[in-house]
Amino acid sequence: METLRGAIYGFPRPPPRIRTKPLQVICVGLPRSGTESLSRALIQLGFKTYHGWDIVFDEPPYAQGWAQLSERKYSGTQGAGTAPISRDEFDALLGHCDAVVDTAAAMFSVEMIQAYPEAKVILNTRQDVDAWHRSAMKTLVAEGEDQWMVWFLHIFTADMYWLWRLYYTFGYPGMFRGRTTKEGLTKHGKRVYQEHGLMIRGLVPEERLLEWDVEDGWGPLCEVSQAWGC
């Protein structure tokens, strides 16, 4: 199957990216938790960010690498649960960014926190979980998984195939514990959202963690950036 998949959807692998400076901030909040606003704020503060949209628009494309990490984590095969994802593997996809926001950091939050123990962590959240859930259902399901054109394109184009595989075959269904993104979000989305926050708070020391809501504005980000020496 892997040979056939490679023959149909494989394209020349882009060269591994090289990190030239330390990763400083990992923003582990789930998608639709103010990630776009957070990314813009960090850029204004001087950080080079790697946002979820970078996976979609990377040129050359690195989506195949992210999809394979997603399969490795969420499929239960290809070494899942054995060897952790290494810093070198993340660096080869991220390059020399200062901060990671949205999809990559959310899907691989535990792995990134372990791979970069010196990096600070921002748990970006929304106080209104119901509002987050409605936004996630609209964006990830109605405008994503349920779009027949997106599904159609993933069969016939290599870049869409790997993006679909990253998001809708393994990533979001695995994150939200469903056979599909829609099933997972519908049945478990709110609980997963709350449990994700609890997991991060238990995993990251208080001095390394900032909890941030988009309604907090930039003030806390400016203050903690100075305190952390970023």
Mean pLDDT value across residues 152-180: 91
Sheet of 25-27: strand order equals 49-50, 99-101, 25-27, 120-125, 209-213
Phi and psi at 2, nearest 5°, equal: -65, -40
> What angle do the packed helices 219-228 and 35-44 form, to 10 degrees?
50
Mean pLDDT of all residues in 33-50: 92
pLDDT number for residue 5: 56
- Residue/partner pairs of 12-17 with CB below 8 Å, 24 or more apart: 13/64, 13/65, 14/60, 14/61, 14/62, 16/91, 16/92, 17/62, 17/91, 17/92, 17/93, 17/94, 17/95, 17/96
Q: Whole-number mean pLDDT of the chain? A: 89
**pLDDT(80) > 50:** no
Percent of the chain topping pLDDT 90:
72
Phi/psi at 164 (5° precision): -60, -40
- Collapse the DSSP code of 183 into the 3-class scheme (helix H, G, I; strand E, B; otherwise coil) and give the result: helix
Give the amino acid at 207: E
Indicate the range of 51-55, 185-189, 201-205 predicted with least confidence: 51-55
Residue 79 pLDDT grade (very low, low, confident, very high; cuts 50, 70, 90):
very low
Distance CA 10, CA 173 (A): 23
pLDDT category of residue 9 using cuts at 50, 70 and 90: low
What value does the mean pLDDT take over residues 138-157?
88
Q: What is the CB-side half-sphere exposure of residue 161 using CA atoms within 13 A?
A: 12
Q: How confident is the model at residue 10 (pLDDT cuts 50, 70, 90)?
A: low
Query: What percent of the chain has a predicted confidence (pLDDT) above 70?
Result: 90
pLDDT surpassing 80 at residue 104 = yes
Question: How would residue 77 be classed by pLDDT, with cut points 50, 70 and 90?
Answer: low
- Give residue 82's pLDDT band: very low, low, confident or very high (50, 70, 90): low
pLDDT of residue 69: 96
- Strands 99-101 and 49-50, how do they pair? parallel
Q: Rounded mean pLDDT of 80-92?
A: 82
**What torsion do the CA atoms of 71, 197, 94, 155 make, to the nearest 10 degrees?**
40
pLDDT of residue 230: 62
Region 167-180 average pLDDT: 96
Q: What integer pLDDT is reported at residue 222 of this predicted model?
A: 82
Q: What is the mean pLDDT of residues 139-165?
A: 88
Helix (H, G, I), strand (E, B) or coil at 36: helix
- Residues in a beta bridge with 209: 121
Closest CA to 107 of 79, 48, 66, 161: 66
